[in-house]
Chains A and B, each alone.
Chain A
Amino acid sequence: MTAVRTETEVAPAASVPSSGRSKRFRLNHWDAKYTPYLIVAPFFVVFAIFGLYPLVYTAWVSLHDWQLIDGNQGFVGVDNYVRLFADANFWNALFNTISLFVLSTVPQLLAALGLAALLDRGLRGRAFWRAGVLLPNVISVAAVALVFAQFFGRDFGIVNFLLGLVGIDPVDWRAETWASHLAVSTMVMWRWTGYNALLYLAAMQSVPKDMYESATLDGASRWRMFWSITVPSIRPTILFTVVTSTIGGLQLFAEPALFDPGFAANNSTGGSDRQFQTLVLYMYEKGFRLFDAGYAATVAWMLFLVVVLVAIVNFSLTRRIAGKG
């Protein structure tokens, strides 16, 4: 790189005399200018094929009466969108998605922050604890869902058994909206808290130690140091996790799907009265059970817009909050 740059700098004087040298210079010049693009190109090519193209194609499908097997049945314009806005099940799914997202993400990120702060202190067997928190994330989501679905079983579940010990009546976890949201959120938190904690931990380790030292000299408490030094210092990482959790949380599918015993019998509506049907589950129901691909594409596009919107809101919110410290 440096060699290229020096040659570019001397180029004006040297380029005139020999044509051979100028050719080589031009090649080098071209090289310096375009190689970086070429190196990043594969990402964009792959993104265009697997990201952009499906996105545009989905928009195209959503403007048609499109059956999964039989394909295009004719252009209908924005009919699907009009139907969607009048569809109570869509709004219910949107509510569930946002409720599940808030219930799982907020406690999850706060817990991750606390966990990271603990791991950042000199614990014995540090590597063990650090690897341990990532474990839930490594286990397949199907396995996690299977185990949690049994924990939250109505008749023979452990959670109800424990509640029974303190005199609380058994809860029908799949029948009540709030209970089902709580159960599904627990699953999400279990899977992602450790992962986010490790991201925070990595960021915390790069916070200069002398800041803590001077704060200690000033007599600041640990609590104060955490909120006034640690959190503002790892702001970029917090922003990153908020955005990724937003995207992941709003696209929630596997956890609620596997929590619903009806999913295996192909009549999943996310609960008997759509208690925990998320937008992606609704899309799945429409597209793959009822074969209405056009409508499913419409749901997919609305979900995309919701994700973009919420991500922007969250990004600016967290930037402001984290900026105060």
Chain B
Amino acid sequence: MSRSLVGSVAATLVMVLAAGCGGSSGADGKVELSLGLFSDFGYDKLIEEYMASHPNIKIEQRKVKMEQHNTQLATQLAGGRGAADIVALEEGVVSQFRASKDKFVNLAEYGAKDLKDQWAGWKWNQGTADGGEFVLGLGTDMGSLGLCYRRDLFEAAGLPTDRKEVAKLWPSWADYAKVADQFTARTPNVKFVDTGRNVYKAILDQTEEGYFAKDDSYIAEKNDKVKTAFDTAAALGTKGQTGALEPFSQEWNVALKQGSFATTTCPAWALALIKAGAGDAAAGKWDVTTAPGGGGNWGGSFLAIPKQSKHPKEAYELAKWLTAPEQQKRIFKETGNLPSQPKVYQDAEVQATVNEYFNKAPVGQIFATSAESLKPTYRGTKDSKVGPVFGTALTRVEQGKQSAAEAWAQALKEAQDAAK
């Protein structure tokens, strides 16, 4: 009896240990590919079609929140296993992952360089390293900038509501601030903008160099553009014209529903978030127009293949297909994610697209125009570490905890540490 007990204890242990290591090859001889994504890439239907036309391939999508996606990917790359065969890299963190490019497949090995001309030049460059020799990822969408505003709240404040008229109100961000003053003077109980942080980010996304110069040296403290952007946003905060909301948070959603702010910065992908937050009751109340200061880019992603993938060739074929112009066009029509390929966004059908929810705004045309004129910001390797420091600084101003000058001084100090 005791011997069998010893045996069973040992057997249990072996089982416990063995359970940790599962197999990964397909049972039916199919090549199994996984896609690691966040939010909505609009791939559901496309993947079904791809599997139908490639019977030997089975595709699994893993969708998590973006924050989780980035940390998960980092640990999977560090651990050498567990990452999906194709992973999405968001524009804000792509430079961070580019610094660890030896963990990724150089897509040039599979002929990615031949595809170069599909994308806007800047988008292609963001996804490559070593002067274009190393292709880290193929571009998906982009976040061309617009500005969203509530027609009813503008009307109540005696401002024009037509999107062309509204665009004329704010050629520059200084003009935008003046409109904010008028708005607040007439309707003091409504906030003019949701958060100073997004205003700051939008202004910065319209400059070619932000925290880092193109040689990746840290320049935040001597770059006047960073300071100007910060001061413009902080002034709105000091005057209480912002809702002091964490962008895209639960409270932001509630505020959307309550209609407690009148404008917000709108990269193409934000339309879906606004619609989801404000709900059907606000249909037709929101509208989109040109952002002050011209075009800019915020967000957009790339598809990359970690070196640990067992089927890099098949993964590459899939990524290439998903990012091809025909598919990009379909995704735009279904989700509104703006393609980063000039041929697609200049396409007549794309240009003619209107968004019913946003008072039938011609979003195709607005975002494509913004895309044409945009000057993409150079993202330094440590951009994603430095950026949030200035965001929290603006929150401190909005919360009334610090003056703009104090917040700026503290942010510079923290940013310097983060940039080390």
Contact = CB atoms under 8 A, between A and B. Distances in A.
Contacts of A71: 78
Given A42-B13, A261-B246, A272 B395 contact: yes
Interface string A279-308: 000000000111101000000000000000
A289 B382 CA distance: 11
Contacts of B74: 68-69, 288, 291
A41 B45 CA distance: 52
Interface stretch (B65-73, B116-124, B208-216): B65-73
Contacts of B5: 35, 38-39
Interface string A69-83: 111000000000000
Interface in A26-62: 31, 35, 38-39, 41-42, 45-46
A84 interface: no
Contact of B9 (A42, A263, A272): A42
A172 interface: yes
Interface in B61-111: 65-67, 70-71, 74-75, 77-78, 96-97, 99-100, 103
A272 B16 contact: no
Interface stretch (B166-174, B249-257, B282-290, B347-355): B249-257
B246 A265 contact: yes
Given A41-B9, A69-B77, A272-B396, 15 more contacts: A31-B2, A39-B5, A42-B13, A42-B16, A70-B100, A156-B251, A175-B399, A262-B392, A266-B71, A267-B388, A267-B392, A272-B399, A290-B385, A290-B418, A291-B96
Contacts of B9: 38-39, 41-42
A235 interface: no
B255 A272 contact: no
Contacts of B243: 155
A35 B395 CA distance: 62
B258 interface: yes
Contacts of A35: 2, 5-6
A170 to B, nearest CB: 12
Interface string B242-279: 01101111111011001010000000000000000000
B311 interface: no
The 5 closest A-B pairs by CB, nearest first: A267-B388, A261-B249, A261-B246, A266-B67, A272-B395
Contact of B392 (A146, A264, A266, A269): A269
6 contacts: A45-B13, A69-B78, A69-B103, A265-B246, A272-B393, A273-B401
A207 to B, nearest CB: 37
B391 interface: yes
Contacts of A175: 399-401
A267 B385 CA distance: 9
A68 B392 contact: no
Contacts of B393: 272
A130 interface: no
Contacts of B66: 266
Given A42-B12, A262-B246, A156 B254 contact: yes
A272 B401 CA distance: 9
A154 interface: yes
Interface residues on A, range: 35 or more
A38 B6 contact: yes
Contacts, number: 101
A261 B392 contact: no
Interface size on B, as a range, is: 35 or more
A266 B70 contact: yes
Contacts of B254: 150, 153, 155-156
Nearest to B248: A265
A93 interface: no
A264 B260 CA distance: 22
A68 B75 contact: yes
Contacts of B400: 175
Given A38-B9, A272-B396, A290-B385, A155 B251 contact: yes
Contacts of B103: 69
B246 A68 contact: no
Nearest to B77: A69
Contacts of A41: 9
A68 B249 CA distance: 27
Nearest to A262: B246
Nearest to A267: B388
A293 B75 CA distance: 10
B250 A150 contact: yes
A265 B67 contact: yes
Nearest to A146: B250
B388 A172 contact: no
A149 interface: yes
A264 B67 contact: yes
A154 B191 CA distance: 14
A31 B393 CA distance: 67
Nearest to A71: B78
